[in-house]
Chains A and B, each alone.
Chain A
Amino acid sequence: MELLGNLLYGFSVALTPLNLFMAILGVVLGTAIGAMPGLGSVNGVAILIPITFAVPPTAGIIFLAAIYYGAMYGGAISSITLNIPGASTAVATTFDGYPMAKKGRAAQALVAAAVSSFVGGTVSIILFTLFAPPLAEFALKFGPPEIFTLMLLAYATFAGLGGKNALKSIIATLIGLMFSTVGLDIVSGRPRMIFGDIAGFYHGINFLVLAIGLYGVGEIMSTAEERLVTGERVQAKVRLRDILSTIKELASFKKAFGIGSLLGFFVGMLPAAGATPASFMSYSVVKRFSKHPESFGTGTMEGVIAPETANNAASTGAMLPMLTLGIPGSPTTAVMLGALVIWGLVPGPMLFIEHREFVWGLIASLYVANVLAVLINLFAIPVFTMILWLPFTILAPLVIVVCAVGGYAPTFSVFDMIFVFIFGCAGYVFRKLDYPLAPMVLALVLGNGTEVSLRQSLIMSHGSIGIFFGFENGAFIHPIAAALMWTSLILYASPLVAAAIRHFRRRVELAKT
């Protein structure tokens, strides 16, 4: 088979000393960067591109892809041990990862995350290898109406997840969307929502700044209140049989693995939506199809498996349209695309023909990097769980300082540092009042894409909303958009319908007495 031949050729490229070294280096650096709050795969890839100038492009892309992977693994580490997402891709891992750690199951959560990442990565690489040409063609069909309705669906799944109150979840989503409008208007290029003329708003509200503020500073403030001054230590001993028993435990969650990998790959493949939205969506979908949805958020392994398989799967998926079409599947791959341009390579079918060693070398090295990453992560777990021994009164100021610096790193702006703290206070208040934070950060990530696709769709339909239900100029030509739209509406309506049913049941019961 031609495919097998290409793959074997790729391995011969990937396993050369230089490329292997770049893969290892990338995985280690990526894991470290991913674990650090404030820096994610995007920053790591961007900052480390200059290193690739010293090596041939194949080694360069292997290096960047390995960083991308490593960050997916590493992000889970601080999510689980500190409840601070190491990267935006690991926010969803905090939902169940940290509760597991608080229950004393940090080691299990870390093993689960590492193995999930490995499974998600491997499955998605296999899918990538098999379906590169036809899948890319299908993703091309997603025009503005489809993209908009898909994002609407993503928000809708959260209306169901958000605490007890769907209305508050909607507000959280809207806040995130509104934050995304701050800065330069993409379509017209004019500054927007800068509240008079506050310079700090020109570059918009950065996702990492919001995430670090809400989940970093906000969490510390909440914890400060709960724990008062006592430094509470969380016991975490890791034994080899813990790793093995965890792996056995994971085998019972095949559904979560399956959903996470497939959903992650597909979402990653879509333009602009990458590992972050994939991890959120996977979490909510796995929860809906789980036998024990009420256990999500309290520290169930399924809640760690879902986002971790998805984010690794999505990073592979995101590379697919980038390589085949030149359309980045995620923010990180957008940066990687920039690197391709610097190296003088043009993405597209010609890349597969003229630079076989580049494409297949990359694909093969993804397999290699995945294996390396899971081994490194599994055997460095004892090191990571030692973080939990720190008393709160040392951990808290340390985290605050790291968050402040982390707020500066993405945009080099002290203004954003201040925002980290403002969002921290907001996060603290929202936690107390049961406003869910996740929809807020998700909406900020997807906000620009949502708006652009909304505007483009309306332009296409000359102002008619019917386009989201499939009709453009009278013809039903967007069935995918219609399907997504109806699904979203049903999901939005379901909590209201359920509440109405409950209300009327109570009325009937009261009337009976």
Chain B
Amino acid sequence: MRRAELACALAIVAFAAIFAWYAQELPIGWVKGEGPGGGFFPFWLSVIMGTVAVAVGVQEFLKSPAPRQAAERFFTEGGLRQVLLIAIPGFIMVALIDVISTYLAAMIFLFYYTRLVGKHSWPIVILVTVAVPVGIFLLFEKFLLIPLPKGYLDEFFYILY
């Protein structure tokens, strides 16, 4: 956990540095006649954040490690696997949305998780895989009139309108 804390603090400092860099694209000081420039707020926020993050890192560093705490791992046993099992396919699903439409991407994802991870029976798998995208279609497209991205398969959906 200690390593993770220090890594996170470091990441935040890096984030602050990048942010500060891009912030100074707009004036960070006082613009004559206009007041504080556009970069003022983000720049000084990054500076403060970087400082506080360093403080957090130092605080963590100085903590005398009690043996049990130092051994506490960031990921529990088997936990990392479970998280990756849902996170990575989630990202893949979003990537697919712009190619084969929200509904197909969702169907693939739902099928994957309920069948391969959840190991549910076929009736439930099929029910979920079909019902959820249909439900979302009816709710968002028909009721709320928010068209969802359909990637390259736009034309195929015209019949539904």
Contact = CB atoms under 8 A, between A and B. Distances in A.
Interface string B38-63: 11111001101100110110010000
Contact of A398 (B40, B132, B148): B132
Interface string B86-120: 11001101100110001000100110111001111
B154 interface: no
Interface string A189-217: 01011111000000000000000000001
Interface of B: 1, 4-5, 8, 12, 18-19, 22-23, 25-26, 30, 34-42, 45-46, 48-49, 52-53, 55-56, 59, 74-76, 78-80, 82-83, 85-87, 90-91, 93-94, 97-98, 102, 106, 109-110, 112-114, 117-120, 124, 128, 132-133, 136, 139-140, 144-146, 148-149
Given A224-B82, A400-B90, A401-B132, A454 B114 contact: no
A152 interface: no
A177 interface: yes
B128 A398 contact: yes
B42 A181 contact: yes
The 4 closest A-B pairs by CB, nearest first: A393-B118, A225-B79, A459-B35, A397-B113
A433 interface: yes
Contacts of B48: 174
A112 interface: no
Given A177-B45, A433-B8, A221 B87 contact: yes
A175 B106 CA distance: 31
Nearest to B55: A167
A405 B117 CA distance: 22
A378 interface: no
A228 B81 CA distance: 9
A404 B22 contact: no
B93 A171 contact: no
A396 B93 CA distance: 14
Contacts, number: 177
Contacts of B87: 221, 421, 424-425
A102 interface: no
A220 B86 CA distance: 9
Contact of A405 (B18, B37, B82, B136): B136
A393 B114 contact: yes
Contacts of A229: 82, 117-119
A455 B26 contact: no
A36 B144 CA distance: 12
A224 B149 contact: no
- Main SS of chain B's interface residues? helix
Given A167-B59, A195-B22, A432 B74 contact: yes
Contacts of A224: 82-83, 85-86
A454 B36 contact: yes
A396 B34 CA distance: 50
12 contacts: A47-B145, A47-B146, A167-B56, A193-B22, A225-B82, A225-B83, A400-B86, A405-B136, A408-B146, A414-B98, A421-B94, A454-B41
A400 B48 CA distance: 35
Nearest to B139: A36
Contact of B26 (A175, A185, A391): A185
A417 B94 contact: yes
A188 B38 contact: yes
A449 B10 CA distance: 29
Contacts of B5: 433
Nearest to B93: A404
Interface string A401-435: 11011001100101001100100110011001101
A259 interface: no
B90 A217 contact: yes
A379 B4 CA distance: 47
A400 B49 contact: no
Contacts of B80: 225
A193 B19 contact: yes
A178 B75 CA distance: 29
Contacts of A190: 26, 38
Contacts of A168: 56
Contact of B97 (A417, A433, A463): A417
Contact of B42 (A178, A396, A400): A178
A175 B149 CA distance: 30
Contact of A39 (B34, B97, B120, B144): B144
Contact of B19 (A178, A188, A394, A402): A178
A52 to B, nearest CB: 15
A190 B148 CA distance: 30
